[in-house]
Structure formats: C-alpha cells, structure tokens
Structure 1
C-alpha cells in the first residue's frame, strides 16, 4: 500500500457513516461535558454567593445580638435609676404625710387651746 492507497482508504472511511458515528458521539459527549462543566461553574458561583450571604447574615445577627445586649444593659441601668428615684419619691411622700399629720396635730392643739382659752374667758 502506497500513499495513494492510504489516501483513498482515508477518504472512503471519512465518507463511511460508521466511521462518522464515533466522531458524532465524541462531539455529543464533549457538548455534554461542556454543559456539565458550565453547570458546575454556575453551581459553584451560586454556592459561593449563598455562602457570602450566609456570612453576611451571620455577621448581621452577631451585630444584632451585640446591640440587644447593649440595649438590655442600658435598660437595666435605666430601670435601676428609676427604682432609686421611686424610692426617693416614696420617702418624700412619707415625709409629707408625716408633715400633714404634724400640722393636723398642731391645729388640733391650737383648736383645743382656743377652746380652753374661750372657756376661761367666759
């Protein structure tokens, strides 16, 4: 077999449908591989985006927790201050009540004294 024969055989094989099937199958396999590769790249990109969102959400939740802890601390501080002020107000109310009672007692004594003096004058 010389070069001419080999070229003729090659030409016949290329025209032969049976020879073209593996090439077609290879092309289909290559297309499927490319699609799978593309889908994997998209899935990776999608999962990276979701992971980044997860990290951002986690950081946001941590910040919210920190803000809540600070808020609770400030609320406790304010509550303690209000309790202290309420005690002072209650003491003031008690002092005023005692003052009222003293004034009433004084007026009663004055009235009694006035009555006594009026009785003496009569």
Structure 2
C-alpha cells in the first residue's frame, strides 16, 4: 500500500481564510489536498464514493461512469488515497473505497467566510 501524506490536524487548519491567514506549512498541506481534487475525474470519483450507499464504493462501481481504462481510474484513486482524501480496503478481489469525511470537513471549514463552524 502506498505511503499516505499526513493529514493536517483539526486545530491547525480549521480557521477560515477570511479570519486568520494560513501559515506556510498549513498552505502547503492544504494545497496538496486541493491539488488532488483539482481534476474533474478525481472530483467525480470523490463524489461517487461519498454519495454511494453506505458511504463506501467498490472499485467495480467506479469504472462504469467513465470512458477511461481501469488503470487510469486506479491512478486517480491512488492520487486521492495518497493525499489522504480516501481510504481503500481490499476484500477478496475488490477494493472498497471510503471518503475521509473529516478531511473534507476541514477543507470546507477553511473556505467558510468568517470562521463559521461546519458540521463534520
């Protein structure tokens, strides 16, 4: 399994951009997460996984919506996994993916004006 990047701690990243400026380290860590999502295929994959019944999706359910090869889908899933946005668990021949909702909550909290809290 690939090395996962560290996820920014809640107390370090949940301050709104409009309330407190980010430190250099915070900006670097957040940029890694946003960069991983800044691809239409990866953003759709993230959405498909998050909206799937039970919050978990089999890789077998993630290939059909795209006109892409299996290895290309696997590459995009790897980018999301290495960024810490999703986790994968092998069950038999299939891998099941789940979104790290706490990471998405942190990202959204950074974007909320005035530092309003965002439910996890």
TM-score, structure 2 length as denominator?
A: 0.18
Question: Which is richer in strand?
Answer: 2
Higher relative contact order (CA 8 A, sep 6+): 2
Question: Which is richer in helix?
Answer: 1
Structure with higher Rg: it is 1
